[in-house]
Structures are given as structure tokens and as C-alpha cells.
Structure 1
Amino acid sequence: MATLWNALAPGEALNLPAVLDRTALLDALSVLTTNATIPAPATRHFTWPWKKLRQSRGWSQLEVFRRLSKVAANEGVRLPEWPTFKRNLCRWESGTVKASPFYEGLLGRLFGLPGWGVVEAAHTTELW
């Protein structure tokens, strides 16, 4: 087992025998899960604070849906029905799920966020 322990040491090449018995495999898994010396890389990406953006305008979730439907229609896209959209919006607002690039773009344009473009002036009166 000392050989297996050394094989799993940080900075060492992982040289394990081709076949491990059950005990050796459990020991190896135990070492991998309890002696992690290198932190996992940060995979968290920036998430827009959709709920704060919505609330700062005094909009309900239904109002976001109505306005976003118009933005989407101007781009030739149809949003899903309200119950489906509401479920997704709740997930985006809570940070449980990150909005896809498609929806980030639509929401970004709706809220006038930098980098997403602005809703055209001709359509602004319809939305606001």
C-alpha cells in the first residue's frame, strides 16, 4: 500500500497497477477524496443580478415576460409559454441556473446592459 500512497502523492506521476483489488481501490479513492492539496479551479462565472435589475425597475416577473416577449418578437423569436418561462426566470434570478447566452442576450437588451446592445428607439415606446 505504501507504493499506492506514493503514487498518489502530489507532484508525482500516477502509476497504478493495471488491476487493483477492492481494498486497494477503496484506499486510493479515500486518498483522492480526503487529501486534496490543490483547490479545484474556480468555475463560477459572472451572473447578472436579474432579480435586482427587475426589482429596481418595479417590474413583476410577468412584466419581464411581456416586455421580453416583445424584444424577442422584434428579433423573430418566440418565447416559451408563461409557466415555462416563469420557472426558468426563477432559476436565473436565484442563481440556481445560469441563463443561456441566448437568454442573457435578450435580457441584456431588455435591461440595457453594456455589451448587449440597446433596444431600438422605434421599439422603445412599445416596451416602456
Structure 2
Amino acid sequence: MLTNKINEILEEYDFTDSIITDMRWEKSLLDFSITIDYNFNLPENEMKTKDLKLVCKNCITINLNFARKSFDHIEPNQTNFYSWFTIVKYNFRKQDKDYIIELYTYEFDTPSISITCNSLELHRY
């Protein structure tokens, strides 16, 4: 694990322009993970891989806002599929005892992923 402190995550990592490559429930069905192909320089003496895994522990709410209508008009051979999962904006904050994570991909106004959880962990993947 790299860190479980939201301040360290916000200070050392910028997720803008990184790509969400996987989302899944962990062994504990209250934990949800997001794997990110991280596209910026990593802190010195850190990992060699660019894949990071953000694990949201003890999730209270998870909202996935990938509307089907947004993808219906796209032919697989006409566009870069991963561009729809590129993080264009993000927001991490603590509210009372919970953490709120919002990741925006193809829309700037509505988060594609919004999670409220009790704790966060950032891992090498």
C-alpha cells in the first residue's frame, strides 16, 4: 500500500488525464476498487509501474453514471474507446467520518463515478 491518507493522495498524485482501466468489487463486497493507468511522474523512489489501484473500503454509496445513450452512437472502430474513461476532473474530500470520491470522465458537470466510503487506500498494481 502506498498510502491510506487522503492528504497524501491529494498532495502527491494528480489523476487528471489518467485512464480508468478496471472497476470491480473486492473480496469484501463492501470494498470497491478502481485501477488507474497513471499518466504523470510518480514521486521519487516510488514504483516503476504506472498502474495504481484506489480501493474504497466499506462503501456506503456508489453511483456509476455511464449513460448508455452516451455510448450508443459510437462504433468501436471509429474512436479511441479508452478516451471515454480518461479522468478529466476529480474531487476527493472528507465529510465527517466519510470520504467522498468523484471522478469525471466524459462530462465535466456530472461525475461518472461517485463513491462514499469509510476509508481509502492507494496501492501499486
- Determine which structure has the larger helix proportion and give its number: 1
Larger Rg computed on CA atoms: 1
TM tier relative to shorter chain: under 0.3
TM-score (normalizing by structure 1): 0.20
TM-score (normalizing by structure 2): 0.21
Q: Which has the higher contact order (CA 8 A, sep 6+)?
A: 2
